[in-house]
Amino acid sequence: MSLNRRPRRLRTTPAMRRLVREVRPQAAQLVLPLFVHEDLDAPRPILSLPGVDQLPLGGVRAAVEAAADAGIGGVMLFAIPSVRDADGSAACDVDGILNLAIAEAAGAAGDRLVVMADLCLDEFTDHGHCGVLDAEGNVHNDATVLVYQRMALAQARAGAHVLGLSGMMDGQVAAVRDALDDDGFQNVSILAYAAKYASAFYGPFREAVDSQLQGDRRTYQMDPANRREGALEAAIDEAEGADILMVKPALPYLDVLADVAAQSSVPVAAYHVSGEYAQIEAAAANGWIDRRAAHLEALTSMVRAGADIVVTYAAVELADWLREDA
Ligand code: PBG
């Protein structure tokens, strides 16, 4: 055949493929979630997230040092308190487990990596919702945002570098930005979970945080059917002052991720969530999939779609694999 375009020419050798590759994921763009449990003295495996443990407070330092040694960009802290109540008070308490974990992580990190904290009430409320409830039992947007402001100050005082606002309340970014600035925390950044869908892929996370939730989060997290609304949420959060925008989950929402990356002037993150990680782990454990290749392909796809930052439970291993491949 006489063809003036033969795309296979650039696939002939490993050296050629390496030369023409469009995206090159790096350890520095990876963020590792960490779960800190107030009642533990030793790490406890999370069965639905193979390779991930709930950590005691005393285990935070070593986990952060290992993450820094692996060269990843950051850690994202979640905590499981011993006592939960209707308003999630432990979230705003300086001695609350999440705030203690932030202080521990920030001390261990120095300036080697970025310490992020989840800013949401679901781990702290006895009903498991991401906010406080009104008399009818609905999550009350504006009352919740007031609690987020207090939670933000507690996290900033504890030393968090980035606050991950994951509650999906309207106006939360602007309100938290104001509260931080009023208290002199101009340099504490906001990562907004801008487009966060009400997803079945959060299943293992609910085990990881001993979730108390009955029902679902569909009045505040987004409907998986909505693509334009994801772009709108991101535009609102950017206008409210978000420093980083996140799309979550990641692979089922690469269209939304690509839209947000195309329209935004700030860095964009993707969260490869617990159920996405668990799918790979379960298939690999059955011998149905190549674990390393699947994790690397998932990462490459998120970066190709436009993610500058990727939050993943495989962050440390991915960093090791990327180093081996380099
Ligand atoms: C809420 C929060 C959730 C996740 C991160 N932050 C759970 C939810 O919205 O139900 C899920 C992360 C994952 O599945 O890996 N604080």
The percent of residues in the chain predicted with pLDDT above 90, rounded, is 98
Residues 6+ apart with CB under 8 A from 137: none
Q: Which of 205, 212, 247 is the best mutation target for the ligand 1 pocket, counting ligand atoms within 8 Å of the beta carbon and taking the most?
A: 205
pLDDT for residue 49 = 97
| Per-residue confidence (pLDDT) for residue 188, from 0 to 100 | 98
Residue 291 has a pLDDT of: 98
Which tokens in the block code for residue 51?
A: 């390779």
Residue environment code for 66-94, b if the CB has 16+ CB neighbours within 10 A, otherwise e: ebbebbbbbbbbbbbbeebeebbbbbbbe
- Please tell me whether 217 is known to bind a ligand: yes
User: Ligand 1 mean position to 271 CA, how many Å?
Assistant: 10
Catalytic residue numbers? Answer: 196, 248
21 belongs to an annotated ligand binding site: no
| Ligand 1 atom closest to the CA of 122, numbered from 1 | 16
Nearest CA to ligand 1 atom 10: 202
pLDDT (tens digit per residue) in 125-147: 999 999 999 999 999 999 999 99
Per DSSP bridges, beta strands 309-312 and 30-37 are parallel
Burial of 135 (0-12, 13-18, 19+ CB in 10 A): exposed
Indicate if ligand 1 lies below 6 Å from the C-beta of 205.
yes
- Spans of the chain, pLDDT less than 50: none
Task: Name the residue with tokens 């063809």.
Answer: 3
pLDDT for position 214: 87
**How confident is the model at residue 256, as a pLDDT?**
98
pLDDT at res. 220:
96
Residue 326 pLDDT: 85
Does 5 carry a binding-site annotation?
no
Nearest-CA residue for ligand 1 atom 9 is 202
Reply yes or no on domain 24-325 having CATH 3.20.20.70: yes
H or E segment and range at residue 311? strand 309-312
Q: What is the pLDDT of residue 133?
A: 96
CA dist 144 and 297 (Å) reads 38
With beta carbons less than 8 A apart as the criterion, state whether 67 and 75 touch.
yes
What CA–CA distance (Å, rounded) separates 143 from 100?
A: 25
- As to burial, measured by CB atoms within 10 angstroms (0-12 exposed, 13-18 middle, 19+ buried), residue 323 is exposed
* Residue 121: predicted pLDDT: 97
pTM of the model: 0.97
Q: Which residues neighbour 49 within 8 Å (Cβ) at sequence distance 6 or greater?
A: 204, 205, 207, 208, 274, 277, 278, 281, 313
Ligand 1 atom at shortest distance from the alpha carbon of 313? 15
**pLDDT confidence of residue 198:** 97
Angstrom distance (rounded) from CA 289 to CA 56: 33
pLDDT, residue 304, reads: 98
Could you list the beta-strand ranges (E) of 38-145: 44-45, 53-55, 74-80, 114-119
Residue 258, both tokens = 């690509």
> Ligand 1 test: best mutation among 98, 166, 191, 210, most atoms within 8 Å of CB?
166
The pLDDT score that the predictor gives to residue 321 is 98
| Ligand 1 atom nearest residue 201's Cα | 14
